[in-house]
Chain A
Amino acid sequence: MHRRLNWLLMLAALAAAFALYAIKYDTRRLEARVQAQERALEKAETDVTILAAERAYLARPERLEPLARLIGLAPIAPAQYLRLDVPTPSPQAGGEAVNVPSPLGVTPSPVAPEARQQNVGEGKGDRRTVDVELPPTPIPSPRRVEDAPSARWGGETPAAR
Chain B
Amino acid sequence: MPAPATIAPPYRSAPAGHHLEARLRKRARLVLCALLLALAVIAGQMTRLALKGGAELRLTLAEPLARSWSRPDIVDRNGRLLATDVGVNSLYADPQLIPDLDETIEKLTAALPGLDAAELRKALSEKARRFAWVARGLSPRQAQRVHELGLPGLAFRTELKRVYPLGALAGHMLGTVNTDNRGTAGLERMLDETGRVEAVQGPGRTSKPPLRLSIDIGVQHALAEELKQATIRYAASAAAGLVLDAASGEVLAGVSLPEADPLRPAEWLDPARTDRLAGGVFELGSIFKSVTVAMALEAGTAGLDKVYDVRQPLAAGPYVVKDLHPLGRPLTVREIFLHSSNVGAGMLAIEAGAERQRAFLDLLGLTQPMRIESGPVAPPLLPKHWGRIETITIGYGHGLAVAPLQFAAAVASLVNGGLRVVPTLLARSGDAGEPVRVVSAATSAKLREIMRLNVTNAGGTGRQAEAEGYRVGGKTGTAEMPGRGGYQEKSVISSFAGAFPMDAPKYVVLVSLFEPQTGEAGAGRITAGLNAAPATARIVERIAPLLGLLPRRLEARSSEPAPFDAPRQAQ
Contact = CB atoms under 8 A, between A and B. Distances in A.
Interface of A: 2-3, 6, 31, 35, 42, 45-46, 49-50, 52-57, 59-62, 65, 75-79, 81-86, 142, 145, 153-161
B166 A56 contact: yes
B558 A62 contact: no
Given A53-B86, A65-B225, A154-B561, A6 B545 contact: no
Given A155-B561, A159-B561, A65 B468 contact: no
B4 A83 contact: no
- In this complex, the member of B4, B551, B558, B560 whose beta carbon has the largest number of chain A beta carbons within 10 angstroms is B551
A56 B557 CA distance: 43
B389 interface: no
14 contacts: A46-B86, A56-B84, A57-B165, A62-B167, A81-B553, A153-B554, A154-B553, A155-B469, A155-B553, A155-B558, A156-B557, A158-B571, A159-B559, A160-B568
Interface residues of B, number: 48
A61 B169 contact: yes
Contact of A83 (B221, B541, B564): B564
A68 to B, nearest CB: 12
- Chain B, interface SS category: loop
B169 A75 contact: no
Contact of A2 (B4, B205, B542, B558): B4
A135 to B, nearest CB: 15
Interface in B83-106: 84-87
A49 B87 CA distance: 8
Nearest to B560: A159
A78 B163 contact: no
A4 to B, nearest CB: 11
B269 interface: no
Interface of B: 4-5, 58, 60, 80-82, 84-87, 140, 163, 165-167, 169, 203, 205, 217-218, 221-222, 225, 467-470, 541-542, 545, 550-555, 557-562, 564, 566, 568-569, 571
Contacts of B552: 154-155
B557 A155 contact: yes
B4 A159 contact: no
A50 B221 contact: no
A49 B205 contact: yes
B84 A53 contact: yes
Nearest to B80: A56
Contacts of A85: 568
Contact of B566 (A35, A79, A155, A161): A161
Contacts of B82: 56
Q: Which among A46, A77, A84 has the highest number of chain B CB atoms within 10 Å?
A: A46
Given A56-B165, A75-B541, A155-B561, A6 B4 contact: yes
4 tightest A-B contacts by CB? A61-B221, A56-B165, A78-B551, A56-B81
Contact of B218 (A61, A84, A142, A154): A61
A145 B469 CA distance: 13
B470 A78 contact: yes
B467 to A, nearest CB: 8
B555 A155 contact: yes
A156 B217 contact: no
A3 B560 CA distance: 102
A155 B561 CA distance: 5
A128 B197 CA distance: 49
A81 B550 CA distance: 8
A59 B554 CA distance: 36
Contacts of A155: 469, 551-555, 557-558, 561
Contacts of B58: 31
A18 to B, nearest CB: 18
Contacts of B467: 78
A59 B221 CA distance: 12
A88 to B, nearest CB: 12
Nearest to B84: A53
A75 B542 contact: yes
A53 B81 contact: yes
A83 B84 CA distance: 41
Contacts of A53: 81, 84, 86, 163, 165
A55 B166 CA distance: 10
Contact of B571 (A2, A54, A86): A86
A60 B568 contact: no
Given A61-B166, A159-B559, 19 more contacts: A49-B84, A49-B87, A50-B87, A53-B81, A54-B165, A56-B81, A57-B165, A60-B166, A60-B167, A62-B167, A62-B221, A81-B469, A83-B564, A142-B468, A145-B554, A154-B564, A155-B557, A158-B558, A159-B562
B551 A49 contact: no
A156 B552 CA distance: 8
Nearest to A58: B165
A144 B217 CA distance: 32
Given A6-B4, A62-B167, A153-B553, A83 B561 contact: yes
Contacts of B87: 46, 49-50
A62 B551 contact: no
A115 B290 CA distance: 43
Given A60-B165, A60-B169, A142-B468, A160 B569 contact: yes
Contacts of B541: 75, 77-78
B469 to A, nearest CB: 4
A84 B560 CA distance: 15
Contacts of A81: 469, 550-551, 553, 564
B5 to A, nearest CB: 7
A154 B551 contact: yes
A79 B468 contact: yes
